[in-house]
Amino acid sequence: MAVLLSTAFVAGLLSPYGRATDDVVTYEVVSDSVGIAGIEYMDAQRRMLIRDVPLPWRLDTTVAGGVARSELRADWRPRAQVRNWVSVRIWYQGKLLCQSTLDIGNATCYGDTPHMA
């Protein structure tokens, strides 16, 4: 039994997410010019894809393994045009972690690469 417990402990330490916690993030997709987008995001269990989502859209969700595993993508390529801007944002503990604003039809944010663009 002691060997089994110590093996499980060591495996947990060696796992890339063994010591990470689950974090709650807020995903947000907004636009003044695009009314509908496809949205892809990571939640507590898997990558989720929802189509034809009315904007603005916002979701608070738990991300398994910590905030670094958070991901958000908006795809509005069928409606992409110059000046059809969409912003995707990831918020964590009330602070903006990532924001990407584009008019090319596809914007992404990743929790492990915080940036504002």
Q: Poorest-confidence range of 9-23, 67-81, 84-98?
A: 9-23
pLDDT band at 113 (very low <50, low <70, confident <90, very high): confident
Domains in the chain, ordered, with CATH?
23-110 (2.60.40)
Percent over 70 (pLDDT), the chain: 81
Whole-prediction pTM value? 0.79
pLDDT at residue 85 above 90? yes
pLDDT at residue 114 above 90? no
pLDDT at residue 28 above 60? yes
Distance CA 66, CA 54 (A): 28
- The pair of structure tokens assigned to 49 is 């894809």
For the beta carbon of residue 89, count every other beta carbon within 10 angstroms: 20
pLDDT band at 91 (very low <50, low <70, confident <90, very high): very high
